[in-house]
Amino acid sequence: MSPPAGERAAPISHWSHIHGWFGWRDLQEEAVATFPDGSTFVEVGSYLGRSLCSLAEVVSESGRNVTVVGVDYCRGSGREGTADKDSHAAAVADGGGTFAGQLHRNVIACGVADQVHLVVSPSPAAAALFADGSLTWVHLDARHEYDSVVADIDGWLPKVAPGGWLTGDDYDEQWWPGVVAAVRDRVPDAQECSTRQWRWVKPVG
């Protein structure tokens, strides 16, 4: 759903001003408290940067030395879920076919441009840029259809370091059955956490 024009025009100076869907701040805080300096956190599916800028804020307030990376195709996910809705269409149209510019502007407006690295790319192609076992936490919130979530899990799971997390949003059978089915098929020992999130911890050894 696109925000009203007045909301889009309002100045942005904090992640809470950015249009989007985000309910796992507690998971971000847990990750920062759990993992050491030198960690790299990757958010796959950043949309306009609401959750990504929140993560950068959590890292900054902690004083930890953590690299934050946001990955997004920036051309929207199309119609998906049981509602069969294209929630990114307005932002894509406003940006002339991409919301990459708005995402970057929001990161700058929130004062975290020096902390956040943006990768504009399809998810599996972006995963190939990282070495296996190099990432401490990868959070998946890209396209929510079954095949896409499977591809995301298959692409990013090898990149997670032993003891690290692979997590994802919208673990909700009613609205996002493709997410739930993909997680059950690919990482059946994943656990539900936070609010409609799932988490798989990579075994050590």
**SS3 of residue 18 by DSSP:** coil
**What DSSP letter does each residue of 147-202 carry, written as one string?**
HHHHHHHHHHGGGEEEEEEEEES---TTT-HHHHHHHHHH-TT-EEETTTEEEEEP
What's the predicted TM-score (pTM) here? 0.93
- If one compares 2 and 167, the residue with the highest pLDDT of the two is 167
Note whether 116 and 53 are within 8 A (CB). yes
Give me the architecture of the 27-201 domain, per CATH.
3-Layer(aba) Sandwich (3.40)
Give the pLDDT of residue 155.
Answer: 98
- pLDDT tens for each residue of 106-117: 999 999 999 999
- pLDDT tens for each residue of 21-80: 999 999 999 999 999 999 999 999 999 999 999 999 999 999 999 999 999 999 988 898
Find the helix or strand (DSSP H, E) in which 26 lies: helix 25-34
- pLDDT tens for each residue of 72-99: 999 988 898 888 888 888 998 999 999 9
**SS3 of residue 6 by DSSP:** helix
The one-letter code for the residue type at 65 is N
- pLDDT tens for each residue of 135-170: 999 999 999 999 999 999 999 999 999 999 999 999
Closest CA to 80 of 10, 143, 172, 158: 143
Round to whole Å and give the CA distance between 105 and 178. 32
pLDDT > 50? residue 1: no
Domain ranges of the chain: 27-201
Give the pLDDT of residue 6.
Answer: 38
Which residues on neighbouring strands pair with residue 117, listed in sequence order?
A: 69
